Amino acid sequence: MAHVTIKEILTDARKRQYAIPTLAGINLEAIIGIVKAAEEKKSPLILCYNQQLTPQIPIEISMPVMVSIAKSAKIPIATILDHGSDFSLIMRSIHSGSSSVMFDGSGLPFDENVARTKEVVKVAHALGVSVEAELGGVGGSAVEAVETAATESVFTDPEQAKKFVELTDVDCLAISFGNVHGKYKGTPNLDHERVKKIFSIIEVPLGMHGASGLTEYDYKSVIKCGISKLNYFSSMCRGTYPMLKNLVENSGEDVFCLNLISMSIDFWYRETKQLLDICMCSKKAQGDSGDNFIKNLSEIISDAIKKQI
């Protein structure tokens, strides 16, 4: 359908209170399976590149693949650099074709986060690229086997969030409200009232990083409170282990790497389909440009030409 920015699709998600998952295009099998599921569910989608997840795959290789697939997909797909912490990587992402970038200055003092985010926004917006930023600190890790409690995070202050958005003109704000990257320590305790407060005083869509390991009720609750962008990776990634274990145990010495390709595509496809339903974004990509084009064409051409189509 179209390669779009996060601003284009998240604006509708915020308005109609559903969330769009941001999923990591860690390899070709994952990308194919994820996009296949989104097309079948008629859901908008965000594909991201995260250097920490795939340090051996340069963004100059990974991002153009995602961009190419996004341009030919039947549904709107945004591409984004996830947790970009330096200006050079952000520019490499833009040069590689990403429609959006995330500058993560959450570990900086407020004023420095504002200043550096403003510089990224200035350049990105001039090039038609959307920007996500983060305020507060989401703890944990998506790449290390650690368990993190939300108490180790720095929760986003609502009034600071309002000021931050006004000063930076970002298109999406990732917030901290009890969410953590990777595996939670104990039962997640999400501050729904904090999300509601931030949603009520700022106008840009809100992002949630660290969305793995929650119940379906948790997901739907935070979406109703105002989360529009949901970054999800760790649970899916861990889910590949049983698939690999089963392949090796059942194939023995006959295991072949080519068998893994189709199995991986099917795995990401099945997992993504379930997630899209939970995010309530299925069928939100209906009425795409192709349908509208045919409809508009039929209104202006003559009956004689219609008969020849």
The span from the CA of 48 to the CA of 145, in Å, is 21
Contact yes or no for 241/214 (Cβ under 8 A): no
Q: Tokens 């991201």 label which residue?
A: 48
Residue type, 241: Y
Q: Give the Cα separation of 248 and 254 in Å (integer).
A: 9
Tell me the DSSP string of 90-159. Answer: HHHHHHTT-SEEEE--TTS-HHHHHHHHHHHHHHHHHTT-EEEEEESB--B-SSS--EE-GGGSBPPPHH
- In angstroms, what is the C-alpha Rg of the chain? 20
CA distance 208 to 175: 6
> 């795959």: which residue's tokens?
57
Distance CA 233, CA 141 (A): 11
Specify the 3-state DSSP secondary structure of 205.
coil
Q: Nearest to residue 139, comparing CAs of 128, 130, 150, 129?
A: 150
The H or E element spanning position 4 is strand 2-4
- Residues marked active site are found at 82
Q: Which helix (H) or strand (E) covers residue 206, if one does?
A: strand 206-208
